[in-house]
């Protein structure tokens, strides 16, 4: 969509153009963290969010969702997540925390505003939301990586008598009709949903290759001890700045993110049947890689998300290309920043990186006033050392897991 600027004060029925220094688009973790830093710097800014309430992107997930990151890792800058550090918040608890955060710091969040176009007009950006127009010197796109649920195109060939929905629209088992369920996609979301459905006594089939799993109980003592190291790997090592991150991220993007909470033994104990990848539809029914046609009553597509940035009418953001960003700044568009977009997505949880990046983005947006002082040479040396260390450690770990799997198949 393209946006046309209106003359200031032009006599039309639509409102005149508003002016603000910085517009943050999206008020999730990334947008709120940006807001915190911008407010500390005394900037004039607004956060526009499509949801009716702050935290709604979490409230829209399934009812029983519990985070896989412990509370001590779920806080935003300036306000710790309350309660026990090793508790695992529910969906609603996290949403309420985010809402409380925005209120506590009196962040200028405007809810119910979906930005539908962003373009450059001269030196500035023009942000359009319905018939509202805002001109800004700087824009931060913080709309998150989970906006557009993706289902394989062949899903539309499914017999209409089969209930189908994407994991992003799944709330609880009552949405499905009686009968067997095929959950396509054996990642964290698919497995969580499959476990919940199996507990209702249905026959549940889980389609796709096992993506691997973290061999510790994240909620137990081992989790508490090992989680800091895992967190370090997720946030500092498995990102696009490290060779190992560049190797691993495409696998994760392709759905090979290891299971974090659930282990194969839990899946087996729940009576869930593992089946190969779903390759297409035959006679209106799901067709597996091994040629089997499944006679199921329901299909849940836990097949991930695609980025949804078509509304951005700027050169770095065309459909097939990832915008290149350095520390959150989009190289091709001075004044444009990304917070928490897939471009900067680290391996498993992007939460912490989102928050770190928020500081860096605001630092740059504020004309290079330093929030974090980092020596680039020292950082490069540290990264190279860590790369070598993690390359060795991860390959030793892989050998260990393979050996254990051979010993205890």
Residues that bind ligand FAD (CB under 6 A): 25-31, 48-51, 57, 61, 67-69, 114-115, 142-144, 146-147, 189, 340, 349-351, 354
Q: What is the DSSP string of 89-157?
A: -BHHHHHHHHHHHHHHTT--EEET----EEEEETTEEEEEETTEEEEEEEEEE---S-SEE---GGGGG
Q: Among positive and negative, which fits the CA dihedral 221, 222, 225, 231?
A: negative
Q: Give the burial class of 407: count Cβ atoms within 10 A of its Cβ; 0-12 exposed, 13-18 middle, 19 or more buried.
A: exposed
**What's the chain's Rg over C-alpha atoms?**
23
Nearer to ligand FAD by C-beta: 281 or 303? 303
Nearer to ligand FAD by C-beta: 113 or 162? 113
Tell me if residue 251 falls in helix, strand or coil: helix
Least separation in angstroms between residue 386's CB and ligand FAD is 21
Nearer to ligand FAD by C-beta: 242 or 349? 349
Nearer to ligand FAD by C-beta: 185 or 335? 185
Q: Give the nearest residue (CB) to ligand FAD.
A: 28
Least separation in angstroms between residue 252's CB and ligand FAD is 13
Least separation in angstroms between residue 116's CB and ligand FAD is 7
Least separation in angstroms between residue 304's CB and ligand FAD is 9
Nearer to ligand FAD by C-beta: 176 or 361? 361
Least separation in angstroms between residue 217's CB and ligand FAD is 16
φ, ψ (nearest 5 deg) of residue 240:
-70, -5
- Whole-angstrom distance, CA of residue 362 vs CA of residue 41: 9
Q: 386: which residues sit within 8 A by CB, 6+ positions away?
A: 236, 237, 242
Least separation in angstroms between residue 228's CB and ligand FAD is 15
Nearer to ligand FAD by C-beta: 129 or 366? 129
């Amino acid at each position: 969509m393209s946006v046309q600027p209106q003359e200031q004060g032009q006599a039309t029925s639509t409102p005149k153009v508003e002016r603000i220094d910085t517009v943050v688009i999206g008020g999730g973790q990334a947008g709120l963290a940006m807001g915190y830093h911008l407010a500390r710097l005394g900037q004039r800014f607004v956060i526009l969010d499509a949801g009716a309430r702050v935290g709604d992107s979490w409230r829209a997930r399934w009812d029983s969702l519990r985070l896989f990151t412990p509370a001590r890792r779920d806080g935003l800058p300036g306000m710790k997540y309350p309660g026990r550090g090793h508790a695992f918040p529910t969906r609603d608890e996290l949403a309420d925390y985010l809402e409380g955060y925005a209120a506590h710091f009196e962040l200028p969040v405007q809810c119910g505003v979906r930005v539908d176009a962003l373009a450059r007009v001269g030196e500035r950006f023009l942000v359009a939301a319905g018939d509202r127009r805002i001109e800004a010197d700087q824009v931060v796109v913080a709309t998150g990586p989970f906006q557009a649920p993706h289902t394989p195109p062949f899903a539309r060939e499914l017999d209409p008598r089969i209930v189908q929905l994407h994991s992003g629209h799944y709330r609880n088992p009552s949405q499905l009709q009686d009968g067997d369920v095929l959950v396509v996609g054996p990642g964290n979301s698919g497995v969580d949903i499959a476990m919940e459905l199996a507990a209702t006594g249905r026959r549940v089939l889980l389609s796709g290759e096992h993506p691997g799993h973290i061999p510790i109980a994240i909620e137990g003592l081992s989790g508490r001890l090992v989680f800091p190291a895992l967190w370090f790997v997720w946030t500092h090592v498995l990102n696009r700045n490290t060779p190992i991150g560049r190797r691993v991220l495409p696998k994760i993007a392709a759905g090979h993110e290891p299971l974090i909470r659930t282990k194969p033994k839990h899946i087996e104990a729940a009576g869930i049947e593992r089946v190969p990848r779903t390759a297409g539809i035959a006679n209106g029914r799901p067709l597996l890689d091994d040629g089997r046609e499944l006679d199921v009553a329901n299909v849940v597509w836990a097949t991930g998300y695609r980025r949804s940035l078509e509304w951005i009418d700027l050169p770095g953001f065309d459909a097939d290309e990832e915008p290149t960003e350095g520390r959150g700044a989009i190289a091709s568009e001075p004044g444009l920043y990304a917070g928490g977009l897939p471009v900067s997505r680290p391996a498993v949880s992007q939460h912490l990186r989102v928050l770190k990046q928020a500081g860096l983005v605001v630092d740059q947006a504020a004309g290079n006033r330093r929030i974090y002082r980092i020596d680039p040479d020292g950082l490069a040396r540290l990264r190279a050392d860590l790369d070598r260390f993690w390359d060795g450690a991860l390959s030793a770990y892989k050998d260990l897991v393979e050996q254990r799997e051979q010993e205890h198949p």
